[in-house]
Amino acid sequence: MIRVYGIQMGNHSFQRVGKGMAKGLEQIGALAGFLPMDTMDEWGSYPGALAPIGVMSAPPPAMIRLSTLGAAHKHKLFMLAPNSNWLPDEIIALGENCLTSWLAPSSWAASVIRKHTDVPVSVWRHGIDGQFYPNDDDAAARLAEYERGEFTVIHMSSSVAERKGTEQLLDAWCELVGRGRLGKRPSLRLMLPRQEIDRYQALVDYDACHIPEVIQTVSLSAPRDMSPEAAAAYYRSAHVVCQPSRGEGFGMVPLEARACGVPVVATTLATGHSEHMNPTTPGVVDVPVGADESIDDGPGALAPSLDPRDVQRSLHRAYDEWPEIQADALRVAPSLGLEWSWKSVTETWWQAYGQEMSR
């Protein structure tokens, strides 16, 4: 049996993962309790204190609390998602002092962690909430818009770093729109950290786009703390979700979008994206990546390189072939929802690792 340590309030990645793990464990009958570290009163009043296993999804410095709040657990595991080949020495040292094992959301992430420590690592893939599913009315509305010359692309990032490929996407977008390659009314919605909006706004070459001011070519906004239901509706409001990331521990956005039947343009072979996509995945247009290059993740950090011209070609293909790509995305979406449910991914990890630890 397992106690989960997570963050209750909000819907960002740490919260989604912690609550998802607890949900999956409950569904397979292996949850001893959930301790909400952000809203707890007296920690001893929460169930699961004597469970053989404690797992945590939270910012890495919080893992020390597994040695205080979770002192009775025989096994103490923390979910860590690298974004490049680099990991902070202080985080690895902290883990070696207070963990019995790391959790990784993808095989790629596990391979990075293993290069930095001898503490065991197991893969517990991220899952998706049941609210991510296709909607026939939304799909029909997007098709009608496309036939009228509209083409809406969503890109999401909660990071101030280079890893999401946002700058390369903006470069590609301005070039494609300026050449009239994305229809009569293209629209790019960038959801970015508030402190990054001005910087990216300055990179948008509106003159090169040659689009009348009445058409919103690029809309920049700060990330919203969206519930799964709201996020699913947001994905389904677009023709394409574009995530040309250079570094992802897993990459939940494209998987959630795909489960909604929304076509995805993404770097399928870059880091954690490769856990759930490849260049031939239905409903996905691959963005090729190059050899590893430096990235602003940390000292000496490396991640696959990304050429804006490759983003251009992939986005252009997504526009040209969109009806067929949407049909493929809608066809496979229901099976994705089952295969990647929190129950399914948790059962896989439980059978491979958790059941033995709990004895």
- Residues 266-277 pLDDT 10s: 999 999 999 999
CATH class of domain segment(s) 136-339: alpha beta
- Residues 261-306 pLDDT 10s: 999 999 999 999 999 999 999 999 999 999 999 999 999 999 999 9
Beta strands in 14-165 (DSSP E): 31-36, 53-56, 75-79, 101-104, 121-123, 150-156
Question: Cβ contacts of residue 349 below 8 Å, gap of 6+?
Answer: 122, 123, 124, 125
CB 164 within 8 A of CB 84: no
Residue 44 — very low, low, confident or very high, per pLDDT cuts 50/70/90? low
- Domain 2-127+341-357 annotated CATH 3.40.50.920: no
Please report which helix (H) or strand (E) contains residue 257, including its range. helix 252-259
Residue 277, token pair as written in the block: 């996509």
Buried-exposed string 208-225: b where 16+ CB fall within 10 A, e elsewhere: ebebeeeeebbebeeeee
What pTM did the predictor assign? 0.94
* 3-state class percentages of the chain: helix first, strand second, coil last, to nearest 5: 40, 20, 40
Where along the chain do the CATH 3.40.50.2000 domains lie? 2-127+341-357, 136-339
- Residues 74-121 pLDDT 10s: 999 999 999 999 999 999 999 999 999 999 999 999 999 999 999 999
Handedness of CA 190, 192, 194, 198 (dihedral sign): negative
Q: Give Cα 70 distance to the centre of its chain.
A: 28
- Residues 224-258 pLDDT 10s: 789 999 999 999 999 999 999 999 999 999 999 99
